[in-house]
């Protein structure tokens, strides 16, 4: 979503992005004239008249599970966003019985919070795992 019109979205997709991604952008490109939606999400920069790089993960209930906002010159890490969605999905599927520690990736050890884990995290989770 940006403040550009859908016509500009079309030109950008058809003339440039489709040369980077086969078939063009696979998801809807949204237009937010005047930054009305961006204001509500706290990402509209009034002075520059543009939206900053906000990214929101919204779960199937419509609840915001996480967000990240960067100023324009620094791009995002898409794999990190995907990893976070995978982590939230795991937690949701476990009905909250499992949690994903720092550095978690699919297939790695999860934590099962409860009385037995208090003071014992060091036994199941090693510091190196945060830097994998």
Partner 1 sequence: MEEVEVGCARPTGGPVGETVEEPKEVVQQTPKEVTPMIKVGKKAPDFTAPAYHQGKFGAVKLSEYLGKWVILCFYPGDFTFV
- Put residue 117 in one of left, alpha, beta given phi > 0 → left and psi -120 to 50 → alpha: alpha
* Nearest approach, Cβ of residue 90 and partner 1 (Å): 12
Q: Does 10 participate in binding partner 1 (rule CB under 8 A)?
A: yes
Among residues 20, 63, 79, 118, which is the contact residue for partner 1, using CB under 8 A? 63
* Nearest approach, Cβ of residue 99 and partner 1 (Å): 15
Taking the CA of residue 123 as centre, how many other CA atoms within 13 Å lie in the half-sphere pointing to its CB?
6
Among residues 22, 75, 96, 115, which is the contact residue for partner 1, using CB under 8 A? 75
How far is it, in rounded angstroms, from Cα 109 to Cα 122?
A: 13
| Closer by beta carbon to partner 1, 13 or else 110 | 13
Q: Does 129 participate in binding partner 1 (rule CB under 8 A)?
A: no
Element (H, E) at 51: strand 50-51
Measured in whole angstroms, how far is the alpha carbon of residue 35 from the centre of its chain?
Answer: 20
* Phi, then psi, of 109 in degrees rounded to 5: -65, 140
Q: Does 37 participate in binding partner 1 (rule CB under 8 A)?
A: yes
Question: Which residues contribute to the site for partner 1 (CB under 8 A)?
Answer: 1-6, 8-13, 16, 24-32, 36-43, 45, 48-67, 72-76, 81, 85, 88-89
């Amino acid at each position: 979503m940006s403040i550009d019109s859908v016509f500009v979205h079309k030109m950008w997709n058809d003339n440039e992005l489709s040369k980077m991604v086969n078939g063009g952008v696979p998801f809807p490109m949204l237009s937010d004239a005047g930054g009305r939606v961006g204001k509500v999400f706290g990402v509209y920069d009034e002075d520059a008249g543009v939206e900053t790089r906000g990214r929101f993960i919204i779960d199937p209930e419509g609840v915001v599970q996480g967000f990240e906002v960067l100023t324009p010159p620094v791009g995002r890490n898409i794999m990190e966003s995907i990893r976070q969605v995978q982590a939230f999905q795991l937690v949701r599927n476990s009905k909250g019985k499992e949690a994903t520690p720092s550095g978690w990736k699919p297939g790695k050890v999860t934590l099962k919070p409860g009385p037995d884990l208090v003071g014992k995290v060091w036994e199941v989770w090693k510091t190196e795992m945060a830097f994998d």
